[in-house]
Amino acid sequence: MAYFITGGHPLPEESFHAKERRGNSSFEDMDGDRSLIRLVDNSQDDGHRIVDGTGAVGRPLKPDHIPTKLSREPWSIDRVPLLDVETYLGGSLLVCETLKDLLEELEPDVHQFWPMEIYVKGEMVALRYWFVACHRIRALSREHCYPPLSERGWWDPSPLGQRENDRIVFSSEAIGGRHAWVDKAYSDRMFSDEFAERLMKLNLTGLQFVKEQEATDETPKLSMPSGQVPKPRSFLGRLLGKT
């Protein structure tokens, strides 16, 4: 199986108000300049658009202008404890050294972990790492996804209210021995089952795991649900999830 892993999720024992405070907290740069961060290679490929300067496209970043210090705002550590894995920049991961060490054990010298000193109320409380996945591959299985992939190999969900048969399936062959990647046609940052299952055993705080299917040679091929034939949709229709 492939896994989509997110951070910043509340502790199980947190109260409603504590969860609300956590949802209203954020990490603010204390140095660097995110507007000037650039990719090592910003050339466009046959996948989704490459946005220069983002750590979410599966390519490494140049070291210039990357922040090294973050201020967690606005709550104290007592009111909102720091998690092992936090969310940064609306979806990127700020990870602890334990997660970093595990992924580097499986894939040494592949991905980027930019060190970030975390400050709360002016005091340094921890060291975290901004994780940047550095594999960019096309890993969706054309034979197993529903709706079927487009001619360009992209996957779009069915219209709202008709998604009970939708499924995302990754190709084991395309993933190969990789343990973290960004899919060209699906965009999300994904992780291997080996990495995710070992990570679960570490009981780190802040993590949430979403399991996606993975296809091998033995996996049954796509069969079209009865009475459902995907209709071509306009770009606006795909954007809105409508027919």
Checking if the pLDDT of 241 tops 60, the result is no
Checking if the pLDDT of 226 tops 90, the result is no
Whose CA is closest to 182, among 131, 228, 109? Answer: 131
pLDDT band of 187, cuts 50, 70, 90: confident
**Using one digit for the tens of pLDDT, what is the confidence trace for 13-35?**
999 998 999 999 999 999 999 99
Task: Give the pLDDT score at 66.
Answer: 97
Q: pLDDT: is 236 or 18 the higher one?
A: 18
Q: 């969706």: which residue's tokens?
A: 140
Q: pLDDT: is 229 or 202 the higher one?
A: 202
Task: Give the pLDDT score at 243.
Answer: 44
**Using one digit for the tens of pLDDT, what is the confidence trace for 165-176?**
998 899 999 999
Would you put residue 11 in left (φ > 0), alpha (ψ -120 to 50) or beta?
Answer: beta
Q: pLDDT: is 224 or 95 the higher one?
A: 95
Bridge partners, 29 (sequence order): 70
Tokens at 80, concatenated: 């909102």
Task: Give the pLDDT score at 60.
Answer: 98
DSSP collapsed to 3 states, the chain: CEEEEECCCCCCCCCHHHHHHHHCCEEEECCCCHHHCCECCCCCCCCCCCCCCCCCCCCCECCCCCCCEEEEECCCCCCCCCCCCEEECCCEEEECHHHHHHHHHHCCCCCEEEEEEEEECCEEEEEEEEEECCCEECCECCCCCECCCCCCCCCCCCCCCCCCCCECEEEHHHHCCCCEEEECCCCCEEEEHHHHHHHHCCCCCCCEEEEEEEECCCCCCCCCCCCCCCCCCCHHHHHHCCC
Tokens at 126, concatenated: 């921890």
Checking if the pLDDT of 238 tops 70, the result is no
Checking if the pLDDT of 228 tops 70, the result is no
pLDDT band of 203, cuts 50, 70, 90: very high
- In the predicted model, what is the mean pLDDT of residues 35-60? 94
Task: Give the pLDDT score at 217.
Answer: 64
Task: Give the pLDDT score at 51.
Answer: 92
Q: What is the pTM of this model?
A: 0.87
**Using one digit for the tens of pLDDT, what is the confidence trace for 117-151?**
999 999 999 999 999 999 999 999 988 999 998 88
pLDDT band of 89, cuts 50, 70, 90: confident
Checking if the pLDDT of 218 tops 80, the result is no
Checking if the pLDDT of 242 tops 60, the result is no
